[in-house]
């Protein structure tokens, strides 16, 4: 995932063809759309960085983690946090739920 959020075109390697991402107010389908969403986010923030706040933990085929993101928006520096749950299938991400908050 680090490579994906760093702008590398690796979504097709990381997620399944039938991937579904559940963002607040938006569903993302397939690796191409995921790569587009990441690109949109990168355009919103210069120097986008993520730090894991709570190390990932697993329960069956689910992985959960908490992170902190920082970046520079047009109106100044931003900090945001998120909680992610990922469903893994055959070593790739099949489904992804995210909840993000600013502050």
Q: Per-domain residue ranges for the chain?
A: 4-102
Q: Which secondary structure element, helix H or strand E, spans residue 78, and what is its range?
A: strand 76-89
4-102 CATH pick, 3.40.718.10, 3.10.450.50, 3.30.530.20, 1.10.287.3510? 3.10.450.50
Which of 15, 57, 17 lies closest to 38 in space, CA to CA? Answer: 15
Residue 95 has pLDDT above 90, yes or no: yes
3-state class (DSSP) for residue 38: helix
What's the CA gap between 34 and 11, in Å, rounded? 7
- Compare 4 and 1 and report the one with higher pLDDT: 4
Identify the pLDDT of residue 71.
94
Task: Band the pLDDT of 14: cuts 50, 70, 90.
Answer: very high
Query: Mean pLDDT, to the nearest integer, of 42-47?
Result: 89
Q: What is the pTM for the complete model shown?
A: 0.88
């Amino acid at each position: 995932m680090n490579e994906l959020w760093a702008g590398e075109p690796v979504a097709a390697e990381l997620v399944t063809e039938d991937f579904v991402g559940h963002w607040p107010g938006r569903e993302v389908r397939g690796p191409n759309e995921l790569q587009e969403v990441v690109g949109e986010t990168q355009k919103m923030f210069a120097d986008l960085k993520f730090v894991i706040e709570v190390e990932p933990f697993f329960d069956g085929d689910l992985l959960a983690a908490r992170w902190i993101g920082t970046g520079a928006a047009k109106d100044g520096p931003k900090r945001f946090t998120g909680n992610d749950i990922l469903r893994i299938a055959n070593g790739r991400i099949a489904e992804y739920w995210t909840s993000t908050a600013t502050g």
